[in-house]
Amino acid sequence: MKTNIHKKSLEISEQLITQLGGVVIIPLAAYQQLFRRNFPTYYLQNKAASSLDQLVEKGLKDYKEGRCRKIKSLADLD
């Protein structure tokens, strides 16, 4: 198996590295595997999915009809 690797340089300023608190460069496949392992995707089915769909529909309807209000904190709900 022959692999073509093209070397390219990547320049990152020290200021940016300092702002970000460091930089890690890993292959995309390794990042995707790490992401999937730490942030799994859950799929709802049957009654749970139906209940959530109905809740979202009700929320969107309430929003469109102007029954929602903007709050800055949960204390504004009282």
Can you give the pLDDT of all 78 residues of the chain as single tens digits?
A: 566 666 778 888 999 999 999 988 899 999 999 999 999 888 999 999 999 999 999 999 999 999 998 889 998 887
**pLDDT in the model for residue 3:** 61
Query: Which pLDDT belongs to residue 69?
Result: 87
Q: Which two tokens stand for residue 43?
A: 């799929």
**Alpha-carbon Rg of the chain, whole angstroms?**
23
Question: Residue 52: left if φ>0, alpha if ψ -120 to 50, beta else—which one?
Answer: alpha
* 52/76 Cα distance (integer angstroms): 26
What's the pLDDT at 2?
A: 60
pLDDT, position 12? 87
Q: What's the confidence (pLDDT) of residue 19? A: 93
- 48, amino acid identity: A
Residue 34 · residue 24 · CB < 8 Å: no
What is the amino acid identity at position 7? K
